[in-house]
Structure 1
Amino acid sequence: MTDIGVHAVRQRVRRGAGRIGAATPPGRDRAVDALRAAAVLGVVLGHWLVTALVSDGRTLRTASPLHHMPWLAPVSWTFQTLAVFFLVGGHIATRGHASARARGVPYRQWLTARLSRLFKPVAAVLTLWTVAAVALLLSGTEYGTVRTLVKLALSPLWFLLVFAGLTAATPLLARLNPLWPLAVVLHVDLLRFGLGGPAWLGWVNVAAGWAVPYTLGAAWTRGELERRRAGWILLVGGAAATAGLVAWAGYPASMVGVPGQGVSNLYPPTLAVVTFGLAQCGGALLLRERLRHAMRRPVAWAAVALVNLTAMTVFLWHQTALMASTATGLLAGRLPGLHTPPDGLAWVGDRLLWLPVFVLVLAVCCAAFRSFEGSGGGRLSGGELSGEGLSGEGLSGEGLGGEGRGRGSRVVRAHRPSDRGAAKAARHV
């Protein structure tokens, strides 16, 4: 591309970013959107880096580089960002509920508006993979391969089920001290690991474990986490507790599940992953002011806005993009970093080279299925930024979002860094 062409592209990007910035209400807390975008991208990159589909003849099986190279566990510390999801989600949901209550919106109407937009994008994933699974089985594909693919494709749905349950409990969780669900996680782990209790007890932590960052989000709404001291306590205390649990209590160092590992920190959540989440939440809170400053740059804010506008689609389809790339690549043979065992640094280097391919395939998925994410149909307009499209009410603008006020509503007005009125209302929820 010539210098003139590069300059023209830059000008177009700047003009587009300027339009997005102009369409954003001035009172919007852009740090919240930045944290949400970082959490989405962290999960996506984490899955792409630690999930391998190994080709053994006609069969595909899952493998993880963390199984062969456990010293890569810090990769999971970087990209396991689910606690930030729940922190932001709890903050936004409690603000939204307090605002809806102040306007006289009934709880049922508020909850229906928040959850109804989940069904279209989830239904699209379920429909496509039902058809794909039947077609693969009828074509003679090994059952084990089909099971592996479907399990990976639908694995993001567990998050949405937990998130939906916590959202439904928002009126109760808005008043709950995070120490209560943390105490539940602690006692469950003591029973499981210390006293030899049944393994099924661990599934209690699915709700209790993720309720910890969710209720921290509610505390953020109440104005209890505004001082930097709170962020430092969470960061240092959570990191120290996690280090102690890994070093002396026998918890795995990896914060994601590793095939073949006896205990997973994530499925179901353990005390270690919850304390690690506390450290993540502390770091996120400490970054708020820097993110607000960084989001004043038009191009940076435009990138964050675009991620938020397609967050549900990216989240639901990123595993499909990985599998589509892997399956298509089989036509060219057994490719390194795509079909080979993740048993050395060479695989890591090869996998990094495949990331742009995954991004391209995911972009195709977003173009094809973005319309299921909401009524915006992929438009990026002022109405989307100020109303339904990039609302502050959930995983993405449309995915778990909206206060239910209808098309073109100014939902993001409930999303300000220093709205003491909303914080006061939240205390009385």
Structure 2
Amino acid sequence: MHRPTLRQDVRTDVRTDGRVDMKDGARTAARTAVRAIATGIRDGARRVDTATPAHRDRAVDTLRAFAILGVVLGHWLVTALVADGGTLHTASPLQHMPWLAPISWVFQTLAVFFLVGGHVATKGYASARARGTTYGRWLRSRLARLFKPVAAVLTLWTLAVGGLLAAGADFGTVHTLVKLALSPLWFLLVFAGLTAATPLLTRLNPLWPLAVVLHVDLIRFGLGGPSWLGWVNVAAGWLVPYTLGAAWTRGELDRRRAGWVLLAGGAAATAGLVAWAGYPASMVGVPGAAVSNLDPPTTAAVTFGLAQCGLALLLRAPLRRITRRPLAWAAVALVNLSAMTIFLWHQTAMMATTATGLLAGRLPGLHTTPAGLSWVAARLLWLPAFVLVLAVCWAAFRVYEQGGRRSGGRRSQVVLVHNSGRTQAQATDRA
């Protein structure tokens, strides 16, 4: 039997060892890079955690983050842009599969946002008064943080609409896109109005606006009153969780009993209204439906919001425990730092992905009619793409929310939060 010579053995070993060494080196370098990234994230999270004031209620920020992300995911899951020839029109899986209505119960989280907003605004106004800050100065500061990011959205979509119409795009398609892109602005207008009225709302009992909602619905649906009367509930309906937030500030909701009463009472009332009063089961609007629970808000939407607020209040203690972990708290802080940017651009991210996808044809879950579970499965696969495009929008436009370089080249304290835990404490304490 032929045996290799010593020289052949040496050459084989050199070649084999070389390949092994190269593979081992690549693996070692990859592991080192991953460890370095993980270490950097942990160190940054610890700095943010250490710099956060001990008196800060982390549950408030966590609830706000959940509310924003719930709205974003809800829109991405129940809003479809269907390609029909050369046009796009909106559709919803809830329109074709009404048994999916419980999805809207999970992701329609606006009541929690208004609850937190009312709590933060009334607490912040009381603090401003104690410091001697005037109402006008306090209000300008609050509204500036809301509306600065809006300028970028309006500018981009004004240019986009002009470009689309000049290129001969179908007017119906352009109208659909603009309506989706700017739909988050109604929420900001309502929230800004309630913020401006905060001094008048600090002692208002939530039962008063709830009574208004009940009477408006009774006149509309029970007595055949005009449909336009429902728009009174745009203010009254969201005033209910906002004034609950004021009651939270006053310490009236500190006991767990309050949370259980709101959760049980709100859930029972909503179930009764859906089962026996004819209100839709979906807590979001469904194209083609005779009645929408959200546009304008109905009594069912408000009672459902009460249940959500009760659950939020019950979750405060567990959320405080969870966010004692530096990584969890750093993630919450990052979402809060970019809350308006995420909220304002998430629809644009979805539409940009949809428009880009048209270059490859009519894709399932992106351009097809949401009429079956196959569409739902395909849409779930598209969510990472939406997240990626939203991250690009965040990188491009977050400066309008967080501030940029000031005169002299010094960066805003809000932006420095990414590099310094000390400024994170300052930035989030003003949120």
Q: Give the TM-score of the pair, scaled to structure 2.
A: 0.89
Q: Whole-Å Cα distance in 1 between the matches of residues 69 and 162 of structure 2?
A: 31
User: What is the aligned partner in structure 2 of residue 28 from structure 1?
Assistant: 56
Out of 346, 355, 358, which is 1:327 matched to?
355
Aligned: 1:390 with 2:423: no
Structure 1 residue 378: Cα displacement: 4.0
What amino acid is the match of 1:362?
Answer: L
Q: Secondary structure at the match of 2:55?
A: coil
Contact 2:48–2:422 (8 Å) recurs in 1: no
Contact 1:313–1:370 (8 Å) recurs in 2: yes
Q: Whole-Å Cα distance in 1 between the matches of residues 66 and 366 of structure 2?
A: 25
CA-to-partner distance for each residue in 1:194-237, whole Å, 9 max, x for gaps? 00000000000000000000000000000000000000000000
Contact 1:73–1:255 (8 Å) recurs in 2: yes
Aligned: 1:206 with 2:244: no
Structure 1 residue 383: Cα displacement: 5.0
User: What is the aligned partner in structure 2 of residue 170 from structure 1?
Assistant: 198
Q: Whole-Å Cα distance in 1 between the matches of residues 36 and 219 of structure 2?
A: 63
User: What is the aligned partner in structure 1 of residue 212 from structure 2?
Assistant: 184
Q: Whole-Å Cα distance in 2 between the matches of residues 64 and 119 of structure 1?
A: 29
User: What is the aligned partner in structure 2 of residue 399 from structure 1?
Assistant: none
Structure 1 residue 16: Cα displacement: 1.6
- The structure whose Rg is larger is 2
Alignment of 1:240-279 (within 5 A): 240-279=268-307
Q: Secondary structure at the match of 1:300?
A: helix
Structure 1 residue 112: Cα displacement: 1.3
Aligned: 1:291 with 2:330: no
User: What is the aligned partner in structure 1 of residue 401 from structure 2?
Assistant: 373
Aligned: 1:354 with 2:392: no
CA-to-partner distance for each residue in 1:163-188, whole Å, 9 max, x for gaps? 00000110111110000000000000
What amino acid is the match of 1:391?
Answer: D
- Go from structure 1 to structure 2 and tell me whether the alpha carbon gap of 1:4 and 1:386 turns closer, same or farther (over 3 Å shift): closer
Q: Give the TM-score of the pair, scaled to structure 1.
A: 0.90
Query: Structure 2 stretches of 5 or more lacking a match?
Result: 1-26, 404-411
User: What is the aligned partner in structure 1 of residue 256 from structure 2?
Assistant: 228
Structure 1 residue 310: Cα displacement: 0.6
Contact 1:370–1:378 (8 Å) recurs in 2: no
Aligned: 1:316 with 2:344: yes
Q: Secondary structure at the match of 2:429?
A: coil
Q: Whole-Å Cα distance in 2 between the matches of residues 145 and 305 of structure 1?
A: 37
Q: Whole-Å Cα distance in 2 between the matches of residues 300 and 307 of structure 1?
A: 11
Paired residues in the alignment total: 392
Structure 1 residue 23: Cα displacement: 2.3
Out of 161, 174, 181, which is 1:146 matched to?
174
Q: Secondary structure at the match of 1:390?
A: helix
Higher-RCO chain (CA-CA 8 Å, sequence separation at least 6) = 1
Aligned alpha-carbon RMSD (Å): 1.2
Structure 1 residue 392: Cα displacement: 4.9
Structure 1 residue 113: Cα displacement: 1.3
Q: Whole-Å Cα distance in 2 between the matches of residues 236 and 206 of structure 1?
A: 24
Higher mean C-alpha deviation, range 261-270 or range 7-16: 7-16
What amino acid is the match of 2:329?
Answer: W
Q: Whole-Å Cα distance in 2 between the matches of residues 135 and 97 of structure 1?
A: 44
Q: Whole-Å Cα distance in 2 between the matches of residues 392 and 51 of structure 1?
A: 34
Q: Secondary structure at the match of 1:260?
A: coil
User: What is the aligned partner in structure 2 of residue 425 from structure 1?
Assistant: none
Query: Structure 1 stretches of 5 or more lacking a match?
Result: 394-429
User: What is the aligned partner in structure 1 of residue 156 from structure 2?
Assistant: 128
Higher mean C-alpha deviation, range 8-17 or range 83-92: 8-17
More helix by share: 2
Q: Whole-Å Cα distance in 1 between the matches of residues 416 and 305 of structure 2?
A: 34
Structure 1 residue 262: Cα displacement: 0.6
Higher mean C-alpha deviation, range 23-32 or range 218-227: 23-32
Q: Whole-Å Cα distance in 2 between the matches of residues 351 and 23 of structure 1?
A: 40
What amino acid is the match of 1:373?
Answer: E
Q: Secondary structure at the match of 2:122?
A: helix
Q: Secondary structure at the match of 2:90?
A: strand
Out of 75, 89, 95, which is 1:67 matched to?
95
Out of 308, 315, 331, which is 1:303 matched to?
331
Aligned: 1:160 with 2:198: no
Out of 116, 122, 126, which is 1:94 matched to?
122
Q: Whole-Å Cα distance in 1 between the matches of residues 284 and 385 of structure 2?
A: 24
Q: Whole-Å Cα distance in 1 between the matches of residues 378 and 423 of structure 2?
A: 39
Contact 1:92–1:392 (8 Å) recurs in 2: no
- Go from structure 1 to structure 2 and tell me whether the alpha carbon gap of 1:162 and 1:337 turns closer, same or farther (over 3 Å shift): same
Contact 1:189–1:270 (8 Å) recurs in 2: yes
What amino acid is the match of 2:424?
Answer: L
Contact 2:181–2:348 (8 Å) recurs in 1: yes
Q: Whole-Å Cα distance in 2 between the matches of residues 63 and 379 of structure 1?
A: 42
Aligned: 1:80 with 2:108: yes
Contact 2:44–2:421 (8 Å) recurs in 1: no
Q: Whole-Å Cα distance in 1 between the matches of residues 382 and 77 of structure 2?
A: 10
Contact 2:267–2:307 (8 Å) recurs in 1: yes
What amino acid is the match of 2:76?
Answer: W
Contact 1:239–1:275 (8 Å) recurs in 2: yes
Structure 1 vs Structure 2: percent identity of aligned residues?
A: 76
Structure 1 residue 147: Cα displacement: 0.3
CA-to-partner distance for each residue in 1:359-389, whole Å, 9 max, x for gaps? 00000000000000032474423454222x3
Contact 1:54–1:60 (8 Å) recurs in 2: yes
